[in-house]
Amino acid sequence: MTIGRDIAEHFQLSEEPQLEPRYNIAPTQVVAVVRLNAETNRRELGLVKWGLIPFWAKDPSIGSRLINARAESAAGKPAFRAAFKHRRCLVPADGFYEWKRVEKKRQPYFFGSADKKPLAFAGLWERWEGPDREVIESCTILTTDSNELLQPIHDRMPVILKVEDYDLWLDPRVKKPDALQPLLKPYPPEGMAGHPVSSKVNKAAYESPDCIKPVAADEN
């Protein structure tokens, strides 16, 4: 899995992050994000909770329902509006899982880049402070229509940004949704690859390299 040096090189970080490989990250768990440091104007990696908690929320549990945001409408939604304008980020990953309904079962698939390089999901992050001054940083991942590769499996997919679009997405001076919307489109299918994986990934507690190992669809 993508860790440390690969992340630093791909995302042009000044420091190599100390990260353990993860193979089955579930909503509400901690994920890595790349964002722009407002003081240094340099990219840095941070760890945040997956499931965005709006700064105005009274109860942080709302984050479990805000793990994804539709790219087509996120800029206008109360939960995401401020983050879309001021707090955009990249969510590094080697790939993601989607599930296909096969009779009474759900067959998981793993999708990643065809060249095995890291991917960057378009994300939004937020800072929430509770009445007891507890601070939680959290994020959501934007989704869009599936490309031709994903369509037989699912009708939505994460927004995967091209390397040449990272700067624009992270630029704090860009606040108008119209300037960013062209980036939020399905990733070219020829740049991706996918395969069935074990149903072991259905258990959030299962964490092993064999999560992404190819299997025959009828092995589960």
pLDDT at 206 > cutoff 70: yes
In this structure, the number of other CB atoms found within 10 A of the CB of residue 125 comes to 20
What digits encode the pLDDT tens for the residues 66-89?
999 999 999 999 999 999 999 999
What digits encode the pLDDT tens for the residues 148-175?
999 999 999 999 999 999 999 999 999 9
What digits encode the pLDDT tens for the residues 92-138?
999 999 999 888 889 999 999 999 999 999 999 999 999 999 999 99
The stretch 27-40 carries a mean pLDDT of 96
The residue to which tokens 């707090």 are assigned = 87
Residues 6+ apart with CB under 8 A from 197: 97, 108, 109, 110, 211, 212, 213, 214, 215
